Structure 1
Amino acid sequence: MKCQKIVKSKDVFTLIPQFRPKENWAPPFFELIWSARNYSFFWGRSLDEGIKYRLGTLFPEQSVQNMNEIVIKPRELPPHFDAREK
């Protein structure tokens, strides 16, 4: 697998194709977020553009942003539960 390294130089992200790690050093959970592949769409992007466009992430809708967490008080669970029973 060919890998590339992203470096920041004069506020512009650059991809260096010569960088080839010997092994995939990322922890297992990180593979769900990022994987080594050709990210050439980052070529020439500035740090400001990365922040502005969130490098692929977007804020959720306003209704989701306005949600509050649900606070549930811990209690003992019943020994048996069947939704068909009333």
Structure 2
Amino acid sequence: MDLAFYKSFMSEEIRDEGRAEGRAEGRAEGLLLVLEVRGIAVTDEIRTKIADCNDPQRLHQWLQRAATASSAEEVFTEE
């Protein structure tokens, strides 16, 4: 059995994409949880914005803001 594919650049790229997607999903879930626990209203529009975001860095930034924000607008205000 030839295992060369599993060691190839293409295989590593596929794994990296899967890891990034997993990080994004985890951060999106965490962000929604923090907003919920803090009693910050999450509209359908905000929920969709979070779910559609696949950028782990942006989600991380929103998650950090959610820890101290008093409203959803503070979380999603672009700098």
> Structure 1 length as normaliser, TM-score?
0.27
Q: Per residue, is there more helix in 1 or in 2?
A: 2
Larger RCO (CA under 8 A, 6+ residues apart): 2
